[in-house]
Amino acid sequence: MGRIAYVDLASETVRIEEISNELRRLFLGGRGINTHLLYQMVGEETDPLGPENVLVVGAGLLTGVAGIANSRISFSAKSPETGLLGDSAMGGFFGGQLRYAGFDHLVIQGRAKKPIYLWIHDGRIEFKDATHLSQLDTLQIQERIREDLKDPKIQVACIGPAGRNGVRFACIIHGLSHAAGRTGMGGVMGSKNLWAIAARGKTALPIHDPEKLLHVFQRHYQQVTRTKGFLASSIYGTMIRLNNTRTQGYEGGLNHQFNMMEYGGEELDAEVFIDKFETKKATCFGCPTACKHMFRVPRGIYQGMECEGPEYYGCGGWGSQCGCSSWETILEAWNLCAKYGLDVGSMTAYTAWVMELYEKGIITEKDTDGLSLEWGSAEAIIGLIQQVIEKRGIGKLLAQGWIEAAKAIGRNSERYMDHVKGLSIECDDVRGHRAQALGLATATRGACHLRSRYTLEEFFLPEEATKKLTGKPIPQDAAVYDGKEWACYWTECICSIADALGVCKFMTKWLSVGLLGFEEFIESIEAVTGVKLSLEEMIEIGERIYTTERLFLTREGITRKDDIVPEKFYKPWTHGPKAGTRIEAESFEKLLDRYYELHGWDRNGIPKPESLKKLGLEKEPRL
Amino acid sequence: MEKKEIQIRCKACSSRFSVLPFDRFAQCPQCYQEWKIKWLDSESGMIIAPVSWKEYQLKSRRIVPNG
């Protein structure tokens, strides 16, 4: 069911294969099939920015199908930012259009001789000249392609100046700010001289039982729209976390030196943003939440600036992490990153990092082309983005990724970057939440909240509730280590499945107990494919996807020594209701032991042969 | 008809306390922190912010050994 197109950019040829039922059964689609293909097609010798890297684009099994938030599409490649597994997903409308145009997955290989874009429609893939797009930003590229092809309904995923200039943390943008942000997938696309992928389709997706699907959709709609999680998301979106992390004292402050700022709350509050800047809500395919904010700056130096966003990690990243409490500055920075195609997660973390280096005297204005990197400085925040794009000053180093930048700067500068497996951690500080800390340490694309953060740990759920939800009781107290390996494992499975199906995690039990979970996924899969999976089979598929990703990491030399939290997390929180909380090394190592055992990995974090056999992965390329 | 009280959890001390639907402000009886409440519907109230961010942020600093 469905098709994969193997696209060779160098020879401008396409080979098409049907997706076998077996592959669907093992990996479903989206991130699942992407990971399987990527693991087969790249190796430890692959240069992430070389033509031999492979960019796999994959819509989920339910993407574009009538249902709740079935919008997601994943982009996977070897990451130019971390040198390890790269994978990032976006919502919006592009994923559905790719499927309607006749393809579920694209495997993009080689490097085009000149800038091109792919035009995908009616089961065909055309290679189009993109030279005229080379000076445009992401928004302009999308508009220009629609004009060129004379169809306003074409959906485009593209890169901007960052991707074209080889910035290692460039992202792929669709619409105003739907981003496949983390791990530098835009950099891979740029290295292939591929400026954009445009899709428009009219083919109906094959649905096994349309009537049942409609019934399931209606029931899921009634279920999710009654939940508190849905209602809160529909007002605040991810920005609710800005207030929550600050009031409870787990926001990162000044590059994670503090866990709560002592100023700025009066301005940098989600309610203030909604009152002063929000003009309306926006949404992705099939989602009743409309968690995205359209905004307009009414006055000041950015008067009239309009965009969509910002998400929490932009608000907290430039806010508490960089000491900035000006909404206008944050909104302008967000807008620039969207237009240039820069990953906000990395840009904010890099900014906080160099601000701390500046504070400590490790870098000076000589290194920054005269830019003063004072905490909270609007000139610094905006100036750094410009420097990265123009590859000048300290931005020239940052464009190469923080790992290369730290080597060039020297003087132990790498100690001030908080990361896991090369990917910078985001603005919240999870040292007081043990399951979340474990998820951060072990996430397969490096530090990541969307793979294994047990969000429910923040909600004080009683053990009987977590037993009903996950199958095993999980201690209510966030500070307890016992039992948290299961919380992390369950989260990995539900996140893997959501990504393989193309369902937004913000509509799943990852976020709130009343939203979609395995049972609802089973109903949707049965209506679409006719195959009824059991709960055990769903967990096994999630485990299979995660273990394949772990195999990828193992091949790259990742072991237990890399499953760690940043050094700062072993020091106590300085502020707030839980001041004094820190990670205790011995307890954390025991938790890691139990986590490996649950997965069937050895004490070094390497999957055991018998575990691979159980998952049907024994034939995967060996290490 | 009497309004049904709703339980919410204080974000400062984590204890639960009761509020009446659509009350815009509430004080935690345990730690006395004052909060602004957002009502999503008559049964879903949530703390959205302290009444005074400035006061809350300033008093949040604690003396932490080795901190």
- Looking up residue A119, the CATH number of its domain turns out to be 3.60.9.10
Which residues, 6 or more positions from A499, have their beta carbon under 8 angstroms from its beta carbon? A30, A31, A32, A60, A72, A74, A89, A505, A545
Residue A184 domain flag: yes
Residues A135, A105 within the same domain:
yes
Cα(A23)–Cα(A1) distance, integer angstroms: 10
pLDDT given at position A619: 80
> Which residue shows structure tokens 């496949």?
A180
Residues from chain A that touch B50, judged by Cβ atoms under 8 A, are 247, 265
- Which CATH number do you get for residue A404? 1.10.569.10
* Contact assignment for B60 to A271 by CB distance below 8 Å: no
pLDDT greater than 70 at residue B62: no
B39 touches chain A (CB under 8 A): no
Residue A522 resides in a domain: no
* Residue B25 domain flag: yes
Residues in chain A with pLDDT values less than 50: none
Nearest to A243 among B40, B41, B49 (CB): B49
**A-interface mutation test, from B60, B61, B66, most A Cβ less than 10 A away:** B60
Helix (H) or strand (E) holding A419: strand A419-420
B39 occurs within a structural domain: yes
Residue B61 pLDDT: 77
Interface test with B, best of A235, A240, A243, A267 (most B CBs within 10 A): A243
Indicate the residue among A168, A200, A232 that finishes a domain: A200
B40 and A261 within 8 Å at the Cβ level: the answer is no
- Structural domain contains residue B31: yes
pLDDT digits (tens, 9 = 90+) for A539-559: 999 999 999 999 999 999 999
Contacts of A265 in chain B (CB under 8 A): 49-50, 53-54, 56-57
Residues A115 and A249 in one domain: no
| Average pLDDT of chain A to the nearest whole number | 97
Contacts B13 to A, Cβ<8 Å: 577
Q: Do A547 and A443 have their domain in common?
A: yes
* Residue B66 pLDDT greater than 60, yes or no: no
Q: Does residue A110 sit within a domain?
A: yes
- Which residues of A lie inside 8 Å of B (Cβ-Cβ)? 228, 231-232, 235, 243-244, 246-249, 260-266, 269-271, 460, 571-577, 579-580
Inside any domain, residue A450: yes
Domain end, chosen from A387, A422, A457, is at A422
Q: Is residue B48 part of a domain?
A: yes
Q: What is residue B2's predicted lDDT score, i.e. its pLDDT? A: 67
Count of structural domains, chain A: 3
Nearest Cα of chain A lies from the Cα of B40 at a distance, in angstroms, of: 6
Q: Which domain holds residue B30?
A: 6-59
Is B49 contained in some domain? yes
Quote the CA–CA distance of A200 and B55 in Å, as a whole number. 54
pLDDT of residue B67: 44
Question: What is the distance between the alpha carbons of residues A400 and A4, in angstroms, rounded to a whole number?
Answer: 32
Q: Which residue segment(s) compose the domain that A93 sits in?
A: 3-200
Q: Are A22 and A121 in contact (CB under 8 A)?
A: no
In a domain, A232, yes or no: no
Domain count of chain B?
A: 1
Give the CATH number of the domain where residue A483 resides: 1.10.599.10
The pLDDT tens digits for A397-435 are 999 999 999 999 999 999 999 999 999 999 999 999 999
Mark which of A200, A217, A252 sits at the end of a domain: A200
Domain shared by A335 and A453, yes or no: no
Report if residue A361 sits inside a domain: yes
Does B64 fall in a domain?
no
Given an 8 Å threshold on Cβ–Cβ distance, is B57 in contact with A243?
A: no
* B30 falls within a domain: yes
The ipTM is 0.92
Residue with tokens 């080597």: A407
Same domain, A132 and A248: no
Is residue B60 very low, low, confident or very high in pLDDT (cuts 50, 70, 90)?
confident
Within 8 A of A263 by CB-CB distance, chain B residues are 54, 57
In this structure, are strands A194-200 and A116-121 parallel, antiparallel, or unpaired?
parallel
Same domain (yes/no): A91, A115 = yes
Q: Is residue B54 part of a domain?
A: yes
User: Does residue A446 share a domain with residue A399?
Assistant: no
Q: Which of A234, A241, A247 to mutate to test the interface with B (most CBs of B within 10 A)?
A: A247
